[in-house]
Chain A
Amino acid sequence: SQTIHQWPATLVQPVGSPLSLECTVEGTSNPNLYWYRQAAGRGLQLLFYSVGIGQISSEVPQNLSASRPQDRQFILSSKKLLLSDSGFYLCAWSDRASNQPQHFGDGTRLSIL
């Protein structure tokens, strides 16, 4: 069966510091991968998605970037965090076939001080 791992679970970072969040998927090949942010009490905002190694599409302009160095690895990064980057970050995967659901990792709760 497929599993998705996301770490760390919680992170407290000062403003201006760098960020690296990692997500890996097991048990499937060539998945679509997604990064979301969920602000407190709000809906899910799609940040990035990837359909293959090195292929990244950005949904919203922001202070963050994403990379996919391996088929089942997805990384979310920032060079300098802003207060507004606080939130609950979720990685998800879906099968390449059309109209498939997404499956989420456990998420990273990021607090910026």
Chain B
Amino acid sequence: QKEVEQNSGPLSVPEGAIASLNCTYSDRGSQSFFWYRQYSGKSPELIMSIYSNGDKEDGRFTAQLNKASQYVSLLIRDSQPSDSATYLCAVNRGSWGKLQFGAGTQVVVTP
């Protein structure tokens, strides 16, 4: 079974600070990596996709990928209370677009 591991949290972050979330995966053949945000009681929402080593920035979010070390991370700059949610890391699994999800990291942004 291919694994995707995340710290469950909660990760408590002061408002305005940077939240740093990590994710490790076991399948060296993985090619695509995604971060989803899930508010309590809601469905997951795609916030970042990354396919190549290095950094990818989108607004206050930066995804970082290191395939050699098999980890992907998400940075949230200038954290806001609205960023309080569970963040799911997902990695492609085999064929047909299947994804392996981590259990998620809960982020709590405190005013």
Contact = CB atoms under 8 A, between A and B. Distances in A.
Interface of A: 32, 34, 42-44, 46, 49, 51, 57, 90, 94-96, 98-107, 109
A49 B44 contact: no
A99 B32 contact: yes
Interface stretch (B13-21, B59-67, B77-85, B101-109): B101-109
Nearest to B101: A44
Taking each of A43, A46, A90, which has the highest tally of chain B beta carbons within 10 Å of its own beta carbon? A43
B42 interface: yes
Given A42-B103, A43-B103, A44-B88, A101 B46 contact: yes
Interface of B: 31-32, 34, 41-46, 49, 51, 88, 90, 92, 96-99, 101-104
Contacts of B103: 42-43
Contacts of B101: 43-44
A32 B97 contact: yes
A96 B45 CA distance: 19
21 contacts: A32-B96, A34-B98, A42-B103, A43-B101, A46-B98, A46-B99, A49-B96, A49-B98, A57-B96, A99-B31, A99-B51, A100-B97, A101-B32, A101-B34, A101-B90, A101-B99, A102-B34, A102-B99, A103-B46, A104-B45, A109-B41
